[in-house]
Structure 1
Amino acid sequence: MKVSTIFNQFFKCNQCKLTLTSPRIRNNQRHSVSRKIMTEKIDWSRLDPFQIGLLQEQCILVDENDKIVGFDSKKHCHLMENIEKGLLHRANEFLLTQRSKQKITFPNYFTNTCCSHPLYNAMEIEEKDAIGVRRAAQRRLNLELGIDPLEIPLSEIKFMTKFLYKAESSDSFWGEHEIDYALIIHKDIHIDPDPKEIQSWLYIDRQTIVPYLEEQKRKGNPTTPWFQIILNNFLFKWWDNLEDLDAFIEPNKIHRL
């Protein structure tokens, strides 16, 4: 029987703190104009309608110390032009997934089990004990992998640490600048992946994951930049200590890698 080790990331968008003054209002107006110009260049007909709809979700804006400063749509958080202006948004086998070709950022890339954003609402903005982020994990695991939330109670979702990262997607329009929360679930589960989110998946062991991802990269299927950070800095340390993960939890630290 396979025991799945699930590493999930849930992102907060981040923006440098700004005071609520008239210059900020003018800045927002300029940003709105530039957003319109940039989005007019995007060929929306090539994008999946379901994924376009998800761009309207409201993400949590934070500063680089993970303090909430506001909210904005997932669309605006992932436009590369806004990222450059400072917008940054929150047998022990591993369940590896490949993002669907319909994904707007990093389509076809291999990545961790599930990735998404907590939303700007009362349930997912709650910060005590990372309860909001863990609720977001339940929601997205259900949406992407068909996992019943009753199978993964919040008490079984272990929040490990946070890291800050920035990357541009292959089309140059979209990108990521985020505070990433790394979460682990270690148990047997039933999955029913949504093909609009995940085109392939497999359980993989510790010895195989790196050569497998290197082979996929040679075939034109690279690894997402955030999962590469996890691979390089956290994955194997956690994998080797699944029965004693509490010793590696760093809830108040933001790794700047």
Structure 2
Amino acid sequence: MSGQQLRFMESDAVLVVDFDDVVLADAPSTSKRESHVFSPDAPRGILHRAFSVFLFDMSTSELLLQKRASTKITFPNVWTNTCCSHPLLGMDPPESELEMDVSSSSTTTTTTGGEGNNVRGVRNAAVRKLRHELGIHPSELSRECGARFKYLTRVHYWAADTVTHGTDSPWGEHEIDYILFVGVPDKGRVTLDDVNDDEVDEVRWVDRHRMREMFDDDGLLFSPWFRIIADRWLMGGGGWWDDLDRTMNTNDRCDHDTIHRFDPPPEHMGGAGDAGPLFLN
């Protein structure tokens, strides 16, 4: 693990939430490190808010994947969606707010063009991390450049990082994860010349056929949250990716009321807190 990774783990203040995704009044935040530690006292770490971005080239329906860097503390060397991270406390613009914003600013969520969602703070966090991890400038994600954001739903999941760190892994994830789709007119408008090698080892644009081939390759590892989202909603008959225009331009696929809850696959059970099923689904 790198020194930069350790600094972020200690300094970043993630938002602690209850099962209803309400930020706790008496302890609204904790360090990224503390929230991801699995132990007998906290078998699944500390539940916190997160987001997962899926960035699409709307002209080809290709999805941008990343392979997490080998220096990452949690879930290194796994393929996953475009960007996964956390809204943080004390950021400017703020990332803890979920109020509706009807302005036309390119740095906030609007209700025009079918976006119609109320996750301004999560969107601010996503724009920040897309620049930090992949070097994508916020201007390339603006409406003026033809980019569109779509908030689809939330997933509450947990997973011990036992594949990397062994059966007694002290690390894992326990998150309420906001799923954000971002569409750009074509991938040539997205600059990937400054990918942060402390965060990302590789990036790759894939279509649905190539994605299925990768899933079938036993030599590749994938993040558990990406597999859950892909298996449940992204791919297959009637999946979000099957009709991307409908997903991006209508609210037909949105579910902003439900928090969908999932236990991890068997290989991600356990960890230092010997965590078993939480939801029994």
Instruction: Give the structure-1-normalised TM-score.
Output: 0.77
Q: CA deviation at 1:85?
A: 6.2
Distance apart, 1:212 and its partner CA = 1.2
**1:87 partner letter:** I
Q: Distance in 2 between matches of 1:180 and 1:83?
A: 19
Alignment deviations for residues 55-74 of structure 1 (CA, whole Å, 9 cap, x no partner): 12000000011011011000
Aligned-residue offset at 1:234: 1.4
The alpha-carbon deviation at position 194 of structure 1 amounts to 1.1
2:125 alignment partner, SS class: helix
Unpaired runs of 5+ residues, structure 1, are 1-46
In the aligned structure 2, how far is the partner of 1:150 from the partner of 1:247? Answer: 28
2:75 and 2:135 map into 1 onto residues whose CA distance is: 22
CA contact (8 A) 2:64 2:81 kept: yes
The answer to whether the Cα contact below 8 Å between 2:37 and 2:45 also exists between their aligned partners in 1 is: no
Gaps of 5+ in 2: 50-59, 100-117, 263-281
Offset from partner CA, 1:129-149 (integer Å, 9 cap, x none): 100000000000000010111
1:17 corresponds to? none
Q: Considering only aligned residues, what root-mean-square deviation do their CA atoms show, in Å?
A: 1.6
Alignment size in residue pairs? 208
1:157 corresponding residue in structure 2: 149
Matched with 1:232 is: 231
C-alpha distance in 2, partners of 1:239/1:147?
22
The structure where helix makes up a greater share of residues is 1
How has the CA–CA distance of structure 1 residues 86 and 201 changed in structure 2, closer, same or farther, with 3 Å as cutoff? closer
Query: Residue type matched to 1:191 in 2?
Result: L
Verify the 8 A CA contact 1:83 1:177 in the aligned structure 2.
Answer: no
Aligned residue runs from structure 1 range 95-134, under 5 A: 95-121=64-90, 123-128=94-99, 129-134=118-123
Distance 2:89 2:131 in 1: 19
SS across alignment from 2:48: coil
Identical amino acids, percent of aligned pairs: 37
Runs of 4+ in 1 over 6 A off after TM superposition: none
Task: Give 1:241 deviation, angstroms.
Answer: 2.2
Q: Equivalent residue for 1:248? A: 253
Distance 2:207 2:44 in 1: 40
Quote the offset at 1:158 in angstroms: 1.2
Are positions 1:183 and 2:189 aligned together? no
Q: Give the corresponding residue for 1:204.
A: 206
In 2 relative to 1, CA 83–185 (structure 1 residues): closer, same or farther, beyond 3 Å? farther
Counterpart code for 2:175:
E
1:38-117 alignment runs, 5 A limit: 47-55=1-9, 56-69=11-24, 70-81=28-39, 83-84=42-43, 87-90=46-49, 91-117=60-86
Contact 2:36 2:45 in 1 (8 A): no
Deviations 1:116-136 (A, max 9, x none): 000012600011210000000
CA contact (8 A) 1:141 1:147 kept: yes
Aligned partner of 1:3 in structure 2 is: none
Question: What's 2:107 paired with?
Answer: none
**112, 118, 124: which one aligns with 1:135:** 124
Tell me if structure 2 keeps the 8 A contact 1:83–1:175. Answer: no
**Aligned equivalents of 1:162, 1:125: Cα separation in 2:** 16
Structure 1 residues 83 and 227, CA, compared in 2 at 3 Å: closer, same or farther? Answer: farther
TM-score when normalising by structure 2: 0.71
